[in-house]
């Protein structure tokens, strides 16, 4: 989750559109005017209507009689669980169609008018506010329009195969911009405009097919200015190796950047590009230097178009029919949509090509295969989300909290709402409640900042009590030591009360010698039997307990997402310990190692003692540390791990009577044998699973037939 402190403030848009229920009611009345007639009369009139439509086609907009229930689910992003189901964000209410529209490739909304570039009818179709066709532009001038943009004066610019065609607001041809002749454009650089956008100055931004140099930037007269937004080269490791061992003139994989495939520009002039085919960063937001400043977006696969949202965020349309809505910072709000290549249903695309949003918040999604434009209207839940984001991004945090509370009424785990409420509470000094909401949003930085303030206030108020408590504990420890003086200890061999416990505790106390003089300590374990397998088992149980302590008690700042699968933890722990002890013994047996199975089992247990002892203190320490003291936590973890690894190395060297080189060889062979064992176990699992499924299917088939 990205920080809300750096959210870009955008111009406020008041959501003055009718509710989705009113929209449904209005569209239902338009689409089903025969609903009040009898079945026979309705059937007869329907047949007459079909005949009249076939004989006298109309160019006005009409909605096809498709199923009105949106056939998909809506998802949002949770930092803890990833993609999670949420309330429906948009509802498909109608489709837009016209005789003049056969293959819509691109759309733009200017004022109340919707402009559609149609590559099959070779014209720009203009719809009015009621979404009726009022005129067409470019008939006879255009060859294959695939992109359209409109400037502030209403003039139309069209990306048309090998040209950019400029029309006046009345549809008259003004200019045809051909391939730039400027030497900086490139002698062999292609100019096949596919998509087009304009900024406030009137500069023209063109996405050219096979234009690996990036987006072409022209001035309003068509003169070349520069390129921007060039993509990085992406070759996988195998392709790079093939290029290394292949002569330059015979290389199959050339380091050529993929060209952008679409773009949009917001009100502030920021350019967003789309590049289908990239493994990462398919959506980019460019700074003035043409460099990407947007993090890699979640859930974006095979994008085809991008459009700005009224609240300052943006929408991404994918080739699979998915529609994704993001905030200005790139946090996923909603993910919905579907694709069906066989049936024709409302809200389901076959070949989605373009997306735009009107001033009322409705989404228009073009389907190039069916020649339809699907219209989605936001639900009440989405209205609250957009309203809250608008207030929040304009700095009206207190007012936004009421709207975020409404959002939580619909979806109590909506991460963005908790994030924004936490930020607002933090700014107003309610750090305790802010920390609660930041934790629910899994926002570590905000949680840490809130806890810092709470901790500072608590330390300031309780500094004297802490000092007195420390002195009291010291005095208590001194008194306890004096009181125990002269009394028999549980570790004393002469203590007859608990002989078994006394022996186990004496063996556990050998840990101190392992820390002070590990070489002598492991010698004593091997030859003098200073510790047995029962004590080692106790240490392994303590090690498992230490793992659970770390799992369940580490502070939120250092463990925002907890894995509470106890059964899996037990399986992994037992598997690692068993594999290491058994395989190391087997490897040592064939490599002249002198250590017995008992020696390896007991010695390995004692090498884990630093982690056993440090697990609880470090875990408790994480509950009072913030991100500002993260280095303390990392330093302690590195020290404990390094200490345990060093003890393990010394133990193997002494138990097997190896030199340093043989010890390293033993460790590497043990790790390799473990990897092979895991691979074999995985293959066996797959085979046994297939056998089980085969037998189950046979039993089911026999049961069915009998």
Q: Are 651 and 673 found together in one domain?
A: yes
Mean pLDDT of 32-48: 38
Distance CA 641, CA 630 (A): 17
Kindly state whether residue 480 falls inside one of the protein's structural domains: yes
In the predicted model, is pLDDT for residue 54 greater than 70? no
In the predicted model, is pLDDT for residue 269 greater than 80? yes
DSSP 320-344: TSEEEEE-TT--EEEEEEEE-SS--
Angle, alpha carbons 205-209-215 (nearest 5°): 30
In the predicted model, is pLDDT for residue 453 greater than 50? yes
Hey, how many other C-beta atoms are within 10 angstroms of the C-beta on 534? 12
Q: Are 655 and 540 found together in one domain?
A: yes
Domain's final residue, options 487, 514, 534: 487
Domain's final residue, options 487, 514, 535: 487
For residue 486, what pLDDT is reported? 62
Q: Are 458 and 510 found together in one domain?
A: no
Q: Are 595 and 658 found together in one domain?
A: yes
Kindly state whether residue 393 falls inside one of the protein's structural domains: yes
pLDDT-derived band at 492 (thresholds 50, 70, 90) equals low
Segments forming the whole domain that contains residue 541: 499-688
pLDDT tens-digit map of 119-141: 999 999 999 999 999 999 999 99
pLDDT tens-digit map of 636-671: 999 999 999 999 999 999 999 999 999 999 999 999
Q: Are 482 and 505 found together in one domain?
A: no
Q: What is the mean pLDDT of the chain?
A: 84
For residue 39, what pLDDT is reported? 41
For residue 19, what pLDDT is reported? 39
Mean pLDDT of 435-441: 92
Beta bridge partners of 685: none
Mean pLDDT of 265-270: 93
CA dihedral 274, 277, 279, 280 (to 10 degrees): 0
pLDDT-derived band at 570 (thresholds 50, 70, 90) equals confident
Residues in the chain, total: 706
Hey, how many other C-beta atoms are within 10 angstroms of the C-beta on 369? 13
Kindly state whether residue 332 falls inside one of the protein's structural domains: no
Q: Are 512 and 413 found together in one domain?
A: no
Kindly state whether residue 264 falls inside one of the protein's structural domains: no
Residue pair 504/522 in contact by the 8 Å Cβ criterion: no
Q: Are 36 and 3 found together in one domain?
A: yes
Distance CA 10, CA 14 (A): 12
Kindly state whether residue 12 falls inside one of the protein's structural domains: yes
Kindly state whether residue 353 falls inside one of the protein's structural domains: no
Lowest mean pLDDT among 245-254, 395-404, 551-560, 619-628: 245-254
**Residue 500 exposure: Cα atoms within 13 Å on the Cβ side:** 1
Q: Are 409 and 481 found together in one domain?
A: yes
pLDDT tens-digit map of 598-627: 999 999 999 999 999 999 999 999 999 999
Hey, how many other C-beta atoms are within 10 angstroms of the C-beta on 665? 14
In the predicted model, is pLDDT for residue 252 greater than 70? no
CATH label of the domain that carries residue 58: 1.25.40.10
In the predicted model, is pLDDT for residue 23 greater than 70? no
For residue 20, what pLDDT is reported? 38
Lowest mean pLDDT among 2-16, 289-303, 502-516: 2-16
Question: Number of H helices and number of E strands within the chain?
Answer: 17, 26
In the predicted model, is pLDDT for residue 213 greater than 50? yes
Mean pLDDT of 244-255: 62
pLDDT-derived band at 193 (thresholds 50, 70, 90) equals very high
Hey, how many other C-beta atoms are within 10 angstroms of the C-beta on 203? 15
Instruction: List Cα–Cα distances, 290 to 217, 273, 660, 706, in angstroms.
Output: 11, 10, 54, 70
Kindly state whether residue 177 falls inside one of the protein's structural domains: no
Give the DSSP H/E element, type plus range, for residue 429: none
Q: How many domains does the chain have?
A: 2
Q: Are 473 and 504 found together in one domain?
A: no
In the predicted model, is pLDDT for residue 450 greater than 60? yes
């Amino acid at each position: 989750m990205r920080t809300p402190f750096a959210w870009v403030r955008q111009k406020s848009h008041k959501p003055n559109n009718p509710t989705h229920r009113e929209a449904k009611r209005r569209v239902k009345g338009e689409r089903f005017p025969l609903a009040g007639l009898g079945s026979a009369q309705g059937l007869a009139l329907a047949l007459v209507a079909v005949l009249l439509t076939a004989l006298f086609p109309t160019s006005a907009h009409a909605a096809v009689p498709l199923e009105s229930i949106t056939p998909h689910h809506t998802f949002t992003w949770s930092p803890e669980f990833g993609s999670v189901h949420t309330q429906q964000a948009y509802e498909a209410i109608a489709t837009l169609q016209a005789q003049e529209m056969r293959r819509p490739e691109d759309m733009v909304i200017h004022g109340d008018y919707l402009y559609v570039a149609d590559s099959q009818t070779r014209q720009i179709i203009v719809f009015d506010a009621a979404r009726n066709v009022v005129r067409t532009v470019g008939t006879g001038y255009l060859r294959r329009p695939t992109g359209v943009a409109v400037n502030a004066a209403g003039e139309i610019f069209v990306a048309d195969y090998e040209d950019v065609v400029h029309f006046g607001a009345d549809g008259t041809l003004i200019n045809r911009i051909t391939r730039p002749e400027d030497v900086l454009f490139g002698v062999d650089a292609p100019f096949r405009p596919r998509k087009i956008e304009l900024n406030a100055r009137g500069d023209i931004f063109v996405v050219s097919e096979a234009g690996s140099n990036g987006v072409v930037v022209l001035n309003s007269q068509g003169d070349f200015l520069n390129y921007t937004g060039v993509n990085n080269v992406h070759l996988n490791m195998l392709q790079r190796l093939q290029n290394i061992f292949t002569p330059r003139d015979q290389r199959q994989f050339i380091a050529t950047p993929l060209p952008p495939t679409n773009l949009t520009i917001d009100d502030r002039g920021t350019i967003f590009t789309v590049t289908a085919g990239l493994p990462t960063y398919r959506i980019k937001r460019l700074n003035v230097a043409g460099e990407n400043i947007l993090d890699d977006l979640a859930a974006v696969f095979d994008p085809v178009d991008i459009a700005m949202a009224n609240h300052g965020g943006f929408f991404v349309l994918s080739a699979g029919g998915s529609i994704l809505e993001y905030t200005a910072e790139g946090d996923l709000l909603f993910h919905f949509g579907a694709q069906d290549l066989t049936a024709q249903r409302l809200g389901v695309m076959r070949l989605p090509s373009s997306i735009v949003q009107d001033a009322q918040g409705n989404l228009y999604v073009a389907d190039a295969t069916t020649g339809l434009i699907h219209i989605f209207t936001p639900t009440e839940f989405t209205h609250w989300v957009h309203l809250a984001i608008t207030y929040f991004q304009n700095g009206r945090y207190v007012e936004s909290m009421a709207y975020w509370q409404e959002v939580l009424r619909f979806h109590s785990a909506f991460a963005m709402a908790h994030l924004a409420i936490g930020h607002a509470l933090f700014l107003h000094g309610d750090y305790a409640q802010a920390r609660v909401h930041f934790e629910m949003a899994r926002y570590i930085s905000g949680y840490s900042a809130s806890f810092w303030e709470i901790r500072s206030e608590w330390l300031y108020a309780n500094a004297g009590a802490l000092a007195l408590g420390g002195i009291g504990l010291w005095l208590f420890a001194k008194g306890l030591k004096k009181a125990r003086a002269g009394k028999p200890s549980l570790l004393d061999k002469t203590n007859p009360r608990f002989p078994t416990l006394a022996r186990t505790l004496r063996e556990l106390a050998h840990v101190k010698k392992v820390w002070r003089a590990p070489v002598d300590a492991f010698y004593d374990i091997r030859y003098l039997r200073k510790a047995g397998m029962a004590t080692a088992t106790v240490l392994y149980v303590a090690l498992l307990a230490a793992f659970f302590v770390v799992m369940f008690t580490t502070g939120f700042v250092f463990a925002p997402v907890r894995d509470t699968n106890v059964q899996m933890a037990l399986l992994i722990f037992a598997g690692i310990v068993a594999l290491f002890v058994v395989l190391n013994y087997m490897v040592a047996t064939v490599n002249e190692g002198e250590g017995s199975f008992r020696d390896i089992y007991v010695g390995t247990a004692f090498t884990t003692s630093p982690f056993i002892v440090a697990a609880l203190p470090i875990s408790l320490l994480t509950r009072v540390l913030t991100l500002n003291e993260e280095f303390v936590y990392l330093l302690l973890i590195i020290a404990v791990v390094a200490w345990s690894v060093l003890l393990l190395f010394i133990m193997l060297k002494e138990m097997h009577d190896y030199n340093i080189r043989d010890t390293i060889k033993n460790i590497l062979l043990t790790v390799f044998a473990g990897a092979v064992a895991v691979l074999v176990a995985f293959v066996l699992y797959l085979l046994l699973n297939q056998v089980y499924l085969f037998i189950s299917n046979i039993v089911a088939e026999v049961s069915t037939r009998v």
